[in-house]
Amino acid sequence: MPFELKLLSGNSNYPLAEKISRYLGVPLTNADVSRFQDGEVSIKINENIRGTDLFIIQSTQAPAENLVELLVMLDAARRASARRITAVIPYFGYARQDRKDQPRVPISAKLMANLITTAGANRVLTMDLHASQIQGFFDIPLDHLYSAPIFLKCFAQMELSDLVVVAPDPGGVHMARAYAKRLGASLAFIDKRRPDKDRAEVMHIVGKVKGKTVIIQDDIINTGETLTKGAAAIKDRGAKEVYACCTHPVLSRGAVERVEESPISRLLVTDTIPLRKGINSKKIEVASISDLLGEAIKRIHQEESVSSLFY
Ligand code: R5P
């Protein structure tokens, strides 16, 4: 008989934690995840968690408060003698600086891995990391899920034909190829340059898009520059229609407007990050990853395989 499964959530994505809780039929652990008057994070777990298999659900999108909440919850859980603590991080923030490709830059993804481990995580469950080598930044077990099965199901229901899947940069070709294979589509990619950290320019499109229905697949939409400029270039080259899917809807200021004004017909995202209040776009649709995460939590708890959830 495995030890008791418990769920704890911070404030970064409470609606997702509630959905996972419903899927598993396990209530969220009673806790105060609040602030002291000066703004510092204050945590108090209000029930006994000694000896439990505890899953702490917290995405770490900006602001850094979300990360601090996760670290402080981990510390509280470790000191309260949870037997095993899994950090469930649907969106793993600070992942974009994942190698030292210029002088005087950090490897922030490695720093995050160190902080999360030091704070008390025994394992990590996450999804569509910005770069899969980040898995190796952790010296604790890490389960890495993909949103692909969810998006592929949505696209299959749309019954699109004459498809080509486009990777928004050469780094995305591997995943785009997996989509293309599953959808019976051809493959293309964008040669993208970044003149500045929050700007993107399309240099070339490698592959045939003329007369095709295009799906651009990416992990993150932040400013929306990558996706919308890519979509415009693809449309200029004669594509019939452009769809897009991005796992993590960071959607910083101006991104939704860019999507609205772009030739993208529909943009599918997941709920690893909640959409900011006030976002109201007919083009953006949210497909929930709650059941996938819930199932993965159940299997980790029951020591069963997680890899069959990849397809
Ligand atoms: C590559 O850098 C990533 O996969 C995304 O393409 C990028 O984070 C998207 O950023 P933005 O929306 O700001 O162009």
- Per-residue pLDDT of 232-271, as tens digits, reads 999 999 999 999 999 999 999 999 999 999 999 999 999 9
Q: For ligand 1, atom 7, name the residue with the nearest CA.
A: 220
Residue 242 tokens read as 């452009």
Tokens 């850094």 correspond to 64
The proportion of the chain whose per-residue pLDDT surpasses 90, expressed as a percent, equals 95
Calculate ∠ Cα 245-109-40, nearest 5°.
100
pLDDT tens column, 93-122 = 999 999 999 999 999 999 999 999 999 999
Calculate ∠ Cα 37-43-44, nearest 5°.
115
Q: Indicate the residue type of 289.
A: I
What kind of fold does domain 5-146+291-310 have according to CATH? Answer: Rossmann fold (3.40.50)
Give the pairing type, strands 53-57 and 41-45: unpaired
Residue range(s) occupied by CATH 3.40.50.2020 in the chain: 5-146+291-310, 148-287
CA 189 to each of CA 57, 63, 167, 175, 192: distance values in angstroms, whole numbers, following the listed order: 34, 32, 5, 11, 9
Beta bridge mates, 89: 126
Q: What is the CATH number of domain 148-287?
A: 3.40.50.2020
pLDDT tens column, 180-211 = 999 999 999 999 999 998 999 989 999 999 99
Distance 223 CA to ligand 1 centre (A): 8
**Is the pTM value of this prediction over 0.75?**
yes
Q: DSSP character for 28? A: B
Distance 303 CA to ligand 1 centre (A): 35
Catalytic residue among 6, 19, 110, 192: 192
